[in-house]
């Protein structure tokens, strides 16, 4: 395994390793998107629309990738996104991911649908952790879970708001996806909500239909604030209008996300929606990006467009499947190293130096050409 890890040159190579190691049903669950999977591809390809404009003759002999989130210092603006059921990928699942994130000095977000409980993740030791929350029809269950996360030392709630129903994931339907034997949704195990219907076309879709509250509205952010002191991030924002509503209703952070392209197909890529959200937030609350990041240059582009950090999902799971904790560390280290190199080459020694001036889009080029033509006419 050490030789394999040494041969890997970028995080995308972990996907092929994971595909060979995992059962088809499990790999397809992690890898697939909704319906035609147009947005799944777009989440990656849209980064190509944004070009970099480097500055030269900048002293980059000393670099600092550190940043702060909610007052907590991170070694880098790269964090771990919530990905469900990680023990399908590796026997240590979320516990290995939590250890790897802590070792790398960054934050991990634990999924509501984890195969390790908030208490088990807390038991692996110190680390900055957020808890991703789905709101169930039974609000007493939600209240109990949020309080457990707070007691276990989690520092924020990432409220997922784009899943009133589960997107149509055809791979899961074909594979009749269900949690493998011996695994449960650990956070709900004692509440008799930890298992899925073994007879459904998609066990997860059936579970969501039966449990998740479709009546969720903006007023529920205030409701959550009555049961916890933790800051609430709204995960799943893709527009300026919803950004303004999130700010108005007391959200303390926004995560631009299309759920890994697993909900509504043919929506924009997250990087395409990011700047609109950042502008609408007006600096009142931090904005983060989740979706499609595979390179250090992707991270750099997101930061230049106003994100305060990015969350990494699938690459972490593929690293976990490939080599457990060491694989997750490798993914995070490679992205960190690529970001550090890209920052040096673009002329930004520190994260705080990254700004919109290093980004060029086709629209920028058109505007510059139009401005040049207007000047020439004068």
Residue 145 Rama label (left phi>0; alpha psi -120 to 50; beta): alpha
Tell whether residue 84 is among the known ligand binding residues.
yes
Q: Where are the domains of the chain?
A: 2-377
Beta-bridge mates of residue 287 = 254
Segment 26-53, tens digit of pLDDT: 999 999 999 999 999 999 999 999 999 9
Whether 17 contacts 322, CB under 8 Å: yes
Phi, then psi, of 148 in degrees rounded to 5? -65, -45
Tell whether residue 109 is among the known ligand binding residues.
no
CA–CA distances in Å: residue 21 to residues 14, 82, 96, 269, 328? 11, 22, 17, 29, 16
SS3 of 79, please? strand
Task: Please report the pLDDT score of residue 58 as a whole number.
Answer: 97
Structure tokens at 345: 């080459």
User: Who's near 108: CB < 8 A, 6+ residues apart?
Assistant: 79, 80, 97, 98, 101, 102, 121, 127, 128, 129, 130
Segment 223-236, tens digit of pLDDT: 999 999 999 999 99
Whether 183 contacts 259, CB under 8 Å: no
Q: Which of these CATH numbers, 3.40.50.720, 3.20.20.70, 3.40.50.300, 3.30.230.10, describes 2-377?
A: 3.20.20.70
Residues in the chain: 378
- Of the candidates 162, 135, 308, 157, the residue with the CA atom closest to the CA atom of residue 237: 162
- Name the DSSP class of 136: B
Q: Say how many CA atoms lie within 13 Å of 342 toward its Cβ.
A: 24
Segment 157-196, tens digit of pLDDT: 999 999 999 899 999 999 999 889 999 999 988 776 656 5
Tell whether residue 292 is among the known ligand binding residues.
yes
Banded pLDDT at 361 (limits 50, 70, 90): confident
Tell whether residue 259 is among the known ligand binding residues.
yes
Task: Please report the pLDDT score of residue 5 as a whole number.
Answer: 73
Q: Is 90 a catalytic residue?
A: no
Tell whether residue 294 is among the known ligand binding residues.
yes
Tell whether residue 229 is among the known ligand binding residues.
no
CA–CA distances in Å: residue 175 to residues 83, 137, 199? 19, 27, 12
User: Who's near 22: CB < 8 A, 6+ residues apart?
Assistant: 30, 88, 89, 321
Helical H segments across 74-122, by residue range? 93-103, 118-122
Banded pLDDT at 208 (limits 50, 70, 90): confident
Residue 35 Rama label (left phi>0; alpha psi -120 to 50; beta): left
CA 169 to chain centroid: 19
Task: Please report the pLDDT score of residue 212 as a whole number.
Answer: 85
Tell whether residue 169 is among the known ligand binding residues.
yes
Does the pLDDT at position 201 exceed 80? no
Q: Rounded to an integer, what distance in angstroms lies between the CA atom of residue 24 and that of residue 290? A: 25
Segment 164-173, tens digit of pLDDT: 998 999 999 9
Does the pLDDT at position 1 exceed 60? no
Task: Please report the pLDDT score of residue 206 as a whole number.
Answer: 73
Q: How many CB atoms lie within 10 A of CB 78?
A: 27
Weakest mean pLDDT among 72-81, 190-199, 266-275: 190-199
Average pLDDT over the chain, rounded to an integer = 93
Which residue is catalytic, options 72, 90, 249, 259?
259
Tell whether residue 336 is among the known ligand binding residues.
no
């Amino acid at each position: 395994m050490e030789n394999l890890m040494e041969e890997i040159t970028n995080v995308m190579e972990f996907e092929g390793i994971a595909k060979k190691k995992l059962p088809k049903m499990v790999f397809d669950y992690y890898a697939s998107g909704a319906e035609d999977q147009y947005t799944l591809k777009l989440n990656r390809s849209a980064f190509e629309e944004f070009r970099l404009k480097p500055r030269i003759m900048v002293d980059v002999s000393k670099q600092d990738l550190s940043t702060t989130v909610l007052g907590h210092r991170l070694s880098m603006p790269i964090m771990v996104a919530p990905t469900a059921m990680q023990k399908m990928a590796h026997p240590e699942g979320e516990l290995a991911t939590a250890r790897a994130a802590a070792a790398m000095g960054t934050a991990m977000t634990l999924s509501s649908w984890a195969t390790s409980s908030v208490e088990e993740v807390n038991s692996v030791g110190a680390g900055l952790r957020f808890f991703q929350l789905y709101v169930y029809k039974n609000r007493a269950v939600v209240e109990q879970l949020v309080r457990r996360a707070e007691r276990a030392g989690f520092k924020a709630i990432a409220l997922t708001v784009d899943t009133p129903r589960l997107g149509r994931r055809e791979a899961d339907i074909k594979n009749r996806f269900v949690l493998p034997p011996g695994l449960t949704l650990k956070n709900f195990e004692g509440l008799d909500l930890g298992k899925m219907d073994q007879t459904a076309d998609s066990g997860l879709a059936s579970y969501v239909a039966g449990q998740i509250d479709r009546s969720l509205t903006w007023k529920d952010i205030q409701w959550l604030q009555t049961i916890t002191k933790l800051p609430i991030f709204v995960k799943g924002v893709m527009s300026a209008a919803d950004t303004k509503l999130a700010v108005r209703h007391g959200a303390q952070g926004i995560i631009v996300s299309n759920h890994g392209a697993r909900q509504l197909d043919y929506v924009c890529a997250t990087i395409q929606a990011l700047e609109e959200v950042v502008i609408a937030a007006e600096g009142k609350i931090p904005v983060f990006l989740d979706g499609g990041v595979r390179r250090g240059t992707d991270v750099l582009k997101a930061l230049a467009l106003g994100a305060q950090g990015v969350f990494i999902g699938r690459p972490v799971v593929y690293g976990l499947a490939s080599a457990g904790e060491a694989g997750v560390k490798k993914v995070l280290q490679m992205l960190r190293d690529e970001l550090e190199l890209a920052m040096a080459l673009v002329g930004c020694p520190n994260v705080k130096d990254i700004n919109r001036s290093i980004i060029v889009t086709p629209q920028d080029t058109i505007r510059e050409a139009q401005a040049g033509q207007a000047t020439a006419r004068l």
